[in-house]
Structure 1
Amino acid sequence: MRRLATWDLRALSFLVLAVCLLVGLRADIAAAATAGDQPSKPPTLPEPLTREAIRELVARLSDAEVRQLLMAQLDKAAAAAPAQTEAGMSAATMAGHTDRLRDRIGAVLHAAPAAPGELRAAVGRFSAGGRPGQLAIVCGVFAVLLTIGGLVETLVARLFADVRQRLGAGGEDTFGVQAGRALLRLLLDLLLLLVFVATVIGAFLIIYQGHGPSRELFILLLVATVQVRVAIILARFLLAPHAADQRLVPFADAEARGLYRGVVGLAVLYGLFLVLAGFMQRWEVSPDVRLFVLTAGRILFVAVLLYTVWRQRAPIADRIRGADPGPLRRVLADLWPLLMTAYVLVVLLALTVEQLAGMAMRSKAGILSLLIIIGLPLIDMLFCRFLGERSLARAAASGEAGPSFVPVLRKGVHIVVTVGGLLAIAQIWEIDLFALAARGMGSRVAAASIDVAITLLLAYLAWEFARTAIDRRLEREATAKAVSDAGEIGGTGASRLATLLPLARVFISITIIVMATMTVLSALGVSIGPLLAGAGVVGLALGFGSQTLVRDIISGAFYLMDDAFRLGEYIDVGDAMGTVEKIGIRSMQLRHHRGPLNIVPYGGIRRLNNQSRDWVVEKLTFRLTYDTDIVKVRKIIKRIGQELEQDPEIGPDLLQPLKSQGVTAMEDSAMVVKAKFMAKPGNQFVIRREAYQRIKKAFDEAGIKFAHRQVTVFVPPTAAGALDAAGAAGLAAVDDEKKG
């Protein structure tokens, strides 16, 4: 097909040159030649189109016929693509192609027995002007030159042995460092390859004796060798079959070696076929024999490729499936060898039919597309692994926990790699996506669709980054801590950022949605200026009609700016009290310590009592008998306060230790002694319970007794009505006890 395309280009160039020469002739001669005769049948290009046929055609055509033929060919080239796209290929054309294809297949099969003779004749044409057995001599000399180049490359490699050893060290490095080391090793391998090529070329120039075909074959062999070496170097760069710590792609040792052997085998086959194809084309092997040999070579190459695919289907399926596969990834992992086999066979069939029938089926674009499809997952895998390990290393170094940016970055990498791959494939197939969209929807709609897609993509990525950043920050912030005993008031609130960030997340989402919507409407041709003005008018009307709502929102904003309350704090707003569970735009939710949930609008708050901010003072009251030693009581309370302060569970929550406040009141039957401590909000009840238990135990050990409410009645023996008075006094004491 390449040869036919070259002939077409040369023929067209020759025709254009002929037209330019003929136009310079006298106009009257041209007029006489065209006016004296009736219009004849337009000239056509001969089949097959060869150099001799072109020269013969131009020699016998007049300038008018040349011009007519040129216009006909240009019109055909301009109208061929749209005609085939819109109307399709007619049945007659399909039948003609089928007949021609059948004839070509028959000719190729009949030429197969003549292949050895054709190749011997090509070898004879190559050896003309040289020595007998010139081909064997050239191949032997090339093998010697390769040996010399290999020896020089080995010597230079020994000079860089220390450098390579240092580049191979560092198994504990991050992926970024490993990739940098691998890239430096790749550059070193390419440098050694350059030394090898320079040595081979220099040695050849020394022994070259002026035989032109030998020089051409040497260049062909050297180009094929370099291509094979480059493929092997790249495979070693990615797979590192003998060094697991230097491997960039996540394959096991056996899997990496299997893939590496497959790549090496395919590269060697490709180099051999490249030399054979170039030799047959240069030394004029017949097209039928050449096509037969190349088709056999392609079948062998495809067989080796499919063998490698099916042999390595399990490890590659595991990489496609991933750690958390979705339905699509599971299906692709199960079907990828079948899809690859079908695609390779279709490309092979298309390439063969292209060369048999001379139809432009773009089979080479299929091969390049296959390489891109294979390369895209590798690129995606390398970038995702680099970002993942870098993020994990940074999180481990800083001790941060919580959501990571890795999923968001991976989504971005997937999108960029996929879009880039699709654009590259479209470029290879010469598909103008915008032109197709413009023909199907119109240029304005196509441009708007692209703008809308880009806007939605950027909005999605912006939201994911913002949401992840807020979630990471929330993980690091102090969360609300409930009281130690259910049913009690108090509790430690969350940090100010933990209170405001959920609201910021809501505002950011609304902002992104509004901006994306405005951008999409603008891309669709909608003027957003009147919309903004209308929104302002509507907002003003709503402001006048919903003054209570506006008051609630503004009051809430000022409360939050003043840091009056936070999530998890216990507050009293007069009509309701409880723990702040949720903060909204116009109201908040308070959970009472006994369970009920109160919805409190910000505008209705007249006063606010926060019982969870900074610290809390808890007081303990004891009623002791009058014969109690107060000094002993003070010492006991002080000792217990020191014990609580040293307790590993209670001590961190104590801000000031337990201490005695002395006697604060004298009652009829007891002395009232008080003690107090300062603690963090939320755990004061645990400390109070523990303090009571220890004080009770210490008082019992010290013989200190608690006073009970009692009334002592003295009844004289000779008093009248003594029993009645005693009964009345007893009833009064009982009443006082009940009231107290």
Structure 2
Amino acid sequence: MFGKSKIIAAALALALLSYAAFVPGSPAQAQASAQLAEQTTQSAKPADIKPAQIETLLSTLKDENERNALISKLETLLAVADKESEVEEAEAGIATAMSDIVTGISDFLQEAVTRLSETAIALTDVKSLVPLFNDLMADPGDLFVLAEWIGIIAAIVIGGLVAVHIVSRLIRRPVDRLETWAAEGSLLHSLAVFIPVLLLRALRAVVFFAVTQGILTTIDATNVQLAGRAFVFAVTFHLVSLAIVHTLLKPTGPLSRSLQVPPATGAYLSVWANRVIATGIYGVLGLDSAYILGLPYATYLFLEKVVYGVLWALTIAFVLQNRSSFGQTIAQRRDGSSRNPFWSLLAAVWHLIAIAYVTAGLVILMSMGDAGFLRLGEIAAFMIGIMIVWRLGWLAVDTAGRHLFSVSHELTDRFPSLEKRANRYVPHVLGGARVFISIAALGALLEVWGLQLSTFLASENGQILIRALATIVLVGGGAVIISEVVSLFVERRLKVLEETGTLSGRERTLLPLLRRAVVIVIGVLAIFVILSEIGVDITPLLAGAGVVGLAIGFGSQSLVKDVISGIFLLIEDTLNVGDYVDVGGKTGTVEALSIRTLRLRDVAGDLHTIPFGSVDVITNMTKEFAYALVDVGIAYREDADAVMKLLSEIGNEMVEDEKVKESITGPFEVFGVQDLADSSVNIRTRVKTRAGTQWSVRREFLRRVKRRFDAEGIEIPFPHQTLYFGEDKDGSAPPAYVKVSQARARKQGKDGAETGAEAEDYFQTANPEMADAEAARNAEKDAQDAERRRREEEQAKAAEEARETEEELAHDDPVEMIEDGKDPDKKTRS
């Protein structure tokens, strides 16, 4: 602890530094913030304060104007400090809130484990039976008194049960009639007879209670009366419970019919309900009777915990017996499928949840005693109510999804992709609503079990968490909505322009790029805001992004070049989607443009992706307008002027043609003779067309030119070549040896006549020696062909003779052959 002098010194130092920092003209004004921060975090020493500073402070305090100025400056400093602390608290709010939640859950689990261990210890506390044995061994005569009292109570109960038996026989016929009528009818019949049948069956409990209470009033022993009443209450409750269970789970009961419970399952559930109810009622109220009759309190408490343990064991056994069957019932939907992951998970772990619930109930009963029943009933009621509200919330979400999120035909016509986009997000919105409802239901369940979430949410940290979550949801949802609105606007704009015929290539290209850029920017901003809300300091992220961007800039200069080139090309409207261009030696139609590349589809269907940075020259053949340029070649013998006049007539006919003139935007032009080529005289023509139609106009023009030239007899020359063999000094040309050879191939039909021939003509120029060599080769080849034909004819003749011999032998009679002296076994020999 600081002494009084040190406190005064620190205050004076703070005042002097504040005055020196904020009084106009003070030498220390430039260093005010640093000195103030340093002095407020350290303890000033008296030796650090100089008399001159004290005098300055005193003079300031004595002057009213300077004093007010100093007070104003100090208040400003305080306000700034408060704002900074609020910002720091807001930044740390999410982390603190999450820490509080984790701490609360940890404390809750630790308390549950502690109580569970205490319950286990209580169930094994066998020494609590010692007082009972001590009392019985102290006075054996008390055993006879206890036996007498038990006999009296048993006789009273037997009398009541006899009355119950009589009433059961009396109500059997009306109950059977009502149940038969319900079985023959619908579910409404079962609901109608539910109350009458229940009242008739509960009449047995009323009669039993009346008879036993009447008998108990005749007994003078107070202890016997109290113990008997406790046991009578137990039997009465048991009879009422049996009436309710049997009425609900009978095959004609409303519960069995609404849930379609098979009779065997209903009987099985009735048996287990009777076990649990009987154990609980007779165990607890029977111990009350025993306590009234003199059971020691310590033994009573121990046996009561044992009863609770038996109830817990019976319930756990029931859960484990039905683990698989009930799990399959949960997992299967009405259509028999089991593709819902939530229900599949619940089917796999439902028994663990049930065991945890039953164990928690055991802990409550152990810790609260008789009041635990009321607490368990309260918890069960709240849980049933919460589950009903949760289910109704899910049904409301499903109903809203079917009706509220439907898109009208008018909106579909205006925005064709609206329904598709809505269907993309509606499942996520509905899923988010279901998650929110489930989280709220889970929070309510935890609240019922003692985890004070409402207290946390009402605290400052809870409010910070709620605001942060709301901000995250609003920012994320707003980002998605803005992105979709921009997309719808772009699509709507493109559709309107396309319908009106005013859609330009520039808009077709830039509007999708604008949409993509807006979506990226909004997404990045939303991510940074969300990270800031969850407590992540985005300053290092921004700095790191800058460093990464710098590294990428140095390491990917070609990428930067592509992007910059693409930006300028798009701004200058050099090419657009749908244009037919020549880029980098590749010609085709532009299919897509990005900020870095373009995709080009050529005539063969190949797709070329070309970075903008590699483009030197772009030839756009569909920009605004085009020319169909045609060079028509005619023979040298034709009249060029007459042909130009004919071409002009053909062009003018096309301009006036309804099928073609929509593509032509200017007059037909004949420039004249363009070139005297090797084998033709070329005449150039041109006509102005709409962009992209010049090729079809050119094809149509060439078709008409061919047809008219054929009709007018105008020759369209083709390339030909003149061979020149040179000449001697005297002007005579050397001889050219030309040999023409014809080779015929003959084919014989059935009648032996010649059906066709092939001839091959060729010429050869050579000296006489080459001609003689060629003649020798041809003679040798002819001789070989003749020899081959001779062998083929001999083989054919031999085959024909063999066939005739075989036919002759096949028709001979063996008897005649024997008479003629021939061997019949050799008739098949060829």
Using the size of structure 1 for normalisation, the TM-score is 0.46
Q: Name the larger-Rg structure.
A: 2
Using the size of structure 2 for normalisation, the TM-score is 0.41
Q: Which structure exhibits the higher relative contact order, with contacts defined as CA atoms closer than 8 Å and separated by 6 or more residues?
A: 1
